[in-house]
Structure 1
Amino acid sequence: MQINLTGHHIDITDSLRDYVNSKFSRLERHFDNITNAHVVLTLEKVQKVAEARILLSGGEIFANAESDDMYAAIDSLIDKLDRQVIKHKEKLKQK
Structure 2
Amino acid sequence: LLLRTPGPWARVAAVGVVASAVVAWGMAQRPYLLPTSLTVDEAAGAPSTLTWLAVVTLVALLVVVPAVVFLYWLDTHGELEELTDSELGGGSDPDGDRAVFDS
TM-score by structure 1 length? Answer: 0.28
TM-score by structure 2 length? Answer: 0.26
Flag the structure with more relative contact order, 1 or 2, with Cα contacts below 8 A and sequence separation at least 6. Answer: 1
Structure with greater strand share of residues: 1
Structure with greater helix share of residues: 2
